[in-house]
Amino acid sequence: MISYYAHKLLYDGKLQTHMLLSVDDGVISAIKHLNAPPDSNAYDIELAGLVSPGFIDTQVNGGGGVLFNHEQSVQALETMMNGHSQFGTTSMLPTLITDSTQTMQQAADSIAQAIRQGIKGIAGIHFEGPHLSVAKRGIHSGQQVRPLSDTEMTIVTRKDIGKVILTVAAENVTCDQIRELVSEGVIVSLGHSAASLEQAISAIEAGATGFTHLYNAMSGLTAREPGLIAAALLDERVVSGLIVDMHHVHPYNCKLALHTIGAERLMLVTDAMAQVGSDIDILPWLDSTITRHGDKLTLEDGSIAGSCLDMASAVRNMFAHVSQDLPSILNMASHTPARFLGFDDRGEIAVGKNADFVLLDNNLSCVASWIEGKQVAGELQA
């Protein structure tokens, strides 16, 4: 057993000081509040900062210099996870952007192998497409956008690939298909879609529970055509991902989403490309390149192409530009995505939960992170 003294810790939904946290065999075994700092003999490791539940990112295209579409292997997944764990991510869904059926199969195989080998942090897979709207495809290949076939249904409903999110355009799949996916345990998320409000509601009625990168690549909110955005903001059955890099979404729209949806139905995502956790600036993509300009990624024509955002930066951006409610922001990076994915063993610091947590400094930068009690990033050592 290892005991930690946390100066400040997010516990029971609020920040508390002088906390003793005990970890036994990768699980939190005890939490105790103290009236004052303890003697150094009372704990093994001091955590001088803010301890938050580990961040859970449901949309990670790449990291550490690797893009999942370019390489589907256990080594690539480890590299991606290492690239993001230094920024507080302790669970993630590697995300495959619209690609061939063969690449989808290879991606699923690599996820299954990583899970069998116990690669920490790989929680499943997010297939972003290929059943999308051509008009709202963004950087997705128009040549690969296609209807949902039996072959793809077989791939995404595999039982050995962890949690599965499938992003679809509501107008390009049937409600019967959504019901079948959900019955097989797939989390259906709506995105890259020009669907009407009526089509979006029908998809939700059929079992869709998510919206992929709210506001981006979806039918807009207008006077007589509310579109997907209205459904995401008002329907209490769904959770929406939000890219808070200050490029994808205007801060006022972030505020609107938080005010309307609340932290319980709004989760932070990165939509990260290979540049995160890496010094590479230029990434080949289809017949173009994705280039980093400061904290923004663009194609050659200037359009946004994913992000170089990490989860700790998303938390900082929310705090600096959107809300001063830090506990709620931290929950948007941990508890909300855990609940969305159906995890009951992570997403909060509580007895019996996995010891997945992150240490943040006063600037909300990641100092160190732990997965199942093992430190995976940072300078601290037992």
Here the tokens at position 247 are 């490029």
Q: Judging by DSSP bridges, how do beta strands 266-269 and 282-285 pair with one another? A: unpaired
Here the tokens at position 113 are 């192998």
CB 46 within 8 A of CB 5: yes
Residue with tokens 């199942």: 372
Q: What is the DSSP letter of 138?
A: T
What letters, b where the CB count within 10 A reaches 16 and e where it falls short, cover 116-130? Answer: eeebbbbbbbbbbbb
Closest CA relative to residue 270, chosen from 215, 320, 212: 212
The neighbouring-strand residues paired with 3 are: 22
| Catalytic residue flag (residue 271) | yes
For Cα atoms 280, 73, 141, give the angle at the middle one, nearest 5 degrees: 65
- Compute the distance between CA of residue 362 and CA of residue 198 in angstroms, rounded to an integer: 46
Options 271, 287, 295, 356, the catalytic residue: 271
- Strand, coil or helix: what is 186? coil
Starting at the edge strand found earlier in the chain, the sheet holding 2-11 runs: 27-33, 14-24, 2-11, 45-53, 357-360, 366-371, 374-378
- Compute the distance between CA of residue 67 and CA of residue 275 in angstroms, rounded to an integer: 9
- Compute the distance between CA of residue 200 and CA of residue 180 in angstroms, rounded to an integer: 17
CA count, 13 A, side-chain hemisphere, 35: 0
Task: Name the residue type at position 96.
Answer: L
CB 115 within 8 A of CB 122: yes
Which residues are designated catalytic?
271
